[in-house]
Amino acid sequence: MNKNRVIGNVLAVLSFGLAGLASAQSFPDRPITLVVPNPPGGLVDTSARLLSEPLTRVIGQTVVVDNKPGASGNIAYQYVANAKPDGYTLLISYSGYHVGNPALFDKLAWDPIKDFSPVALLTVSTNVIAVHPSVPVNNLKEFIAYAKANPGKLNYASQGNGSVSHIGTEIFKQTTGVEMVHVPYKGSGPAIQDVLAGQVQVFISTPPSLMQHVQSGKLKGLAVTGKNRHPGMPNVPTTAEAGLPSFQLESWVALYAPAGTPAPVITKLTNSVKQSLALPEVKERSDAAGVELRYLNPAQTDALVKKEIPFWGKAIKAANITLD
């Protein structure tokens, strides 16, 4: 290779590295936007708002939440994938979209691995099987028996086609042999309103959507889909305790930057997120909202996603779900 070309290549690499270092040293010097693929309310939006205020204090710049719902999350994901990779436009990623959409769409305008750089896992949540009081059951066994005796009579809500609540409820149907009609909504907020009104009778969703309504008695909590009871709903048994140990469902929320964001910026972001989530007041707020804080670094988050993409792909195929 030409000696001058070698020198030129070395200088280019050094220049790129110095540019990345300089951007990290000055980052951030203006507000940061957290793009949320869901409307206000529910696990994803709650997680964004749990982070935005403490991250503002830790990182030294205003962190704003920008809700961009629609198209099963694809509007927000494509928006961030196409954003300048400078750390100022970040994605609050929902597991149902990040690991589900690749199997739900034949043609996706974004790639879950190639188009995004992981920053951190933020929160994890079990799900709650809840029904309107008009459903004449008091526990999960009675509900399964009632649904089997009345095939197609019950409607179930989801946060949207291809969401965890949609896929999870379809897996629940397969596991139990019940038949229910799917009614998709654009997020947890609109869904819960119709469930509370009794227009839709069943909702399997995360505690931020359902906990206060189960606590008040406006909805019946039949089971939580994790290994342990939820501290905000101590009287609601786990699916295992309720006689359905084979059904468990967990959702997560993570922070992503556009691919190509300089490594020093990712490092500063993930360290700031870790510091923010460790604040005692954030733990108190997350407990009150029914959300479990669970920080993972970029490498750990990447490993989680790469493990779950084939798992959810298999579940979606088995449930015969497609959005194309």
- Which residues belong to CATH 3.40.190.10 in the chain? 128-224
Q: Which fold has domain 3-124+251-319?
A: D-Maltodextrin-Binding Protein; domain 2 (3.40.190)
* Predicted confidence (pLDDT) at residue 11 exceeds the cutoff of 80: no
- Confidence class for position 13, pLDDT limits 50, 70, 90: low
Query: 124 - beta bridge partners?
Result: 252, 292
What is the rounded distance in angstroms from the CA atom of residue 195 to the CA atom of residue 202? Answer: 7
Phi-psi region of 196 (alpha: psi -120 to 50; beta: other; left: phi over 0): alpha
- Which residues belong to CATH 3.40.190.150 in the chain? 3-124+251-319
- Confidence class for position 5, pLDDT limits 50, 70, 90: low
Which pLDDT value is given to residue 21?
58
* Predicted confidence (pLDDT) at residue 257 exceeds the cutoff of 80: yes
pLDDT tens-digit profile of 153-202?
A: 999 999 888 888 999 999 899 899 999 999 999 888 899 999 999 999 99
Helical H segments across the chain, by residue range: 3-26, 42-59, 74-81, 95-98, 101-104, 140-149, 164-176, 188-197, 207-216, 263-277, 280-289, 298-319
The average pLDDT across 267-286 equals 97
Q: What is the DSSP string of 210-265?
A: HHHHHHHTSSEEEEESSSS--TT-TTSPBTTTTT-TT---EEEEEEEEETT--HHH
Q: Tell me what the pLDDT averaged over the chain comes to.
A: 92
Which pLDDT value is given to residue 299?
98
Query: 157 - beta bridge partners?
Result: 183, 203
pLDDT tens-digit profile of 192-238?
A: 999 999 999 999 998 888 999 999 999 999 999 988 899 889 999 99
Helix (H, G, I), strand (E, B), or coil: what is residue 126? strand
**Reported pTM:** 0.80
- Confidence class for position 289, pLDDT limits 50, 70, 90: confident
Q: Is the dihedral of CA 166, 240, 200, 196 positive or negative?
A: negative
128-224 placed in CATH 1.10.8.80:
no
